[in-house]
């Protein structure tokens, strides 16, 4: 990665910069030397008891929010029974939304109206009994496109790509590309044997120096070459 540095005469030029730590809130450096407020490493930007987010996963927004947790998952309150679990090296585009299980209303009766939220929020009230509240789980190296909506309890496998505007519920296989409403698998990124090998290699768990050293192989489609770079 390169970032601008100031020369003795005050002019800026491009030079090497160490890859940012995952606890860096705004990891993107603009050409004028300032940080890009609209891109954050989520592990640094979110402090919420119901979020679990891995290192180097980032989100972007054209209008940066004050509260990234509420911006991305507005129904995931601190007292919610479910969790939002996001792996390492995920990429979340502007407008993506996680609708977690606490957003659900009862659907088994004559009305879906949540009477109790206007009258004390007693969890024993009949209108709040919505059944299981499953976690929403995003694997590693998942790219979630602009304005995609991830529904309660979705499970998205590592390496998957979620198309812009997709509405995703249920399970998405690892290294699948999904799009549409409801989201459907458009294609697989690799064949089954290659997917199994990629999940075994699990480059996202490597030390960051090993990841950066293998950048060319990670960004190529040569699974064997990537496997050969696995640290001892």
Task: Domains for the chain: give ranges and CATH numbers.
Answer: 18-107+133-189 (2.160.10.10), 191-232 (no CATH)
33 or 4, which is more confident?
33
Q: In the structure encoding, which two tokens stand for residue 78, read together?
A: 């601190």
Q: pTM for this one? A: 0.89
Annotation marks residue 105 as catalytic: yes
Instruction: Out of 36, 62, 79, 105, pick the active-site residue.
Output: 105
d(CA 104, CA 120): 18
Q: Of 91, 81, 75, give the one whose Cα is nearest residue 135.
A: 81
The answer to whether 227 and 202 are in contact (CB under 8 A) is no
Whether residue 12 has pLDDT greater than 60 = no
Q: Which two tokens stand for residue 155?
A: 């499970």
Residue 17: which pLDDT band, with cuts at 50, 70 and 90? low
pLDDT tens per residue, range 88-121: 999 999 999 999 998 989 888 999 999 988 988 7
The tens digit of pLDDT for each residue in 123-182 reads 788 888 777 789 999 999 999 999 999 999 999 999 999 999 999 999 999 999 999 999
* Residue 216 predicted with pLDDT over 70: yes
At residue 190, does pLDDT exceed 80? yes
Q: How far apart are CA 7 and CA 218, in angstroms?
A: 34
Local confidence band at 13 (pLDDT 50, 70, 90 cut-offs): very low
Neighbours of 60 (CB within 10 A): 17
pLDDT of residue 64: 96
What is the pLDDT at residue 107? 87
Prior bond to 25 cis, omega within 30? no
Q: How many residues does the chain have?
A: 232
- 10 Å CB burial of residue 210 (0-12, 13-18, 19+) is middle
Q: Long-range CB contacts (< 8 A, 24+ apart) of 164-170?
A: 164/93
């Amino acid at each position: 990665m390169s970032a601008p540095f100031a020369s003795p005469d005050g002019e800026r030029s491009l030079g090497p910069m160490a890859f940012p730590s995952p606890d860096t809130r705004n990891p993107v450096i603009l050409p004028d030397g300032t940080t890009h407020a609209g891109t954050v490493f989520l592990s640094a930007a979110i402090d919420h008891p119901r979020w679990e987010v891995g290192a180097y996963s980032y989100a972007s927004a054209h209008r940066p929010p004050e509260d990234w947790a509420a911006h991305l998952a507005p129904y995931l309150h601190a007292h919610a029974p479910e969790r939002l679990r996001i792996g390492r090296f995920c990429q979340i585009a502007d407008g993506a939304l996680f609708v977690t299980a606490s957003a659900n209303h009862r659907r088994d009766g004559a009305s879906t109206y949540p009477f109790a939220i206007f009258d004390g929020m007693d969890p024993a009230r009949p209108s709040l009994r919505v059944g299981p509240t499953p976690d929403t789980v995003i694997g590693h190296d998942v790219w979630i496109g602009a304005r995609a909506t991830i529904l309660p309890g979705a499970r998205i496998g590592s390496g998957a790509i979620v198309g812009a505007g997709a509405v995703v519920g249920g399970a998405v296989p690892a290294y699948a590309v999904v799009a549409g409403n409801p989201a459907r698998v458009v294609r697989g990124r690799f064949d089954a044997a290659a997917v199994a090998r990629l999940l075994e290699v699990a480059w996202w768990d490597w030390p960051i120096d090993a990841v950066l050293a293998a950048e060319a192989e990670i960004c190529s489609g040569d699974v064997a070459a990537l496997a050969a770079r696995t640290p001892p």
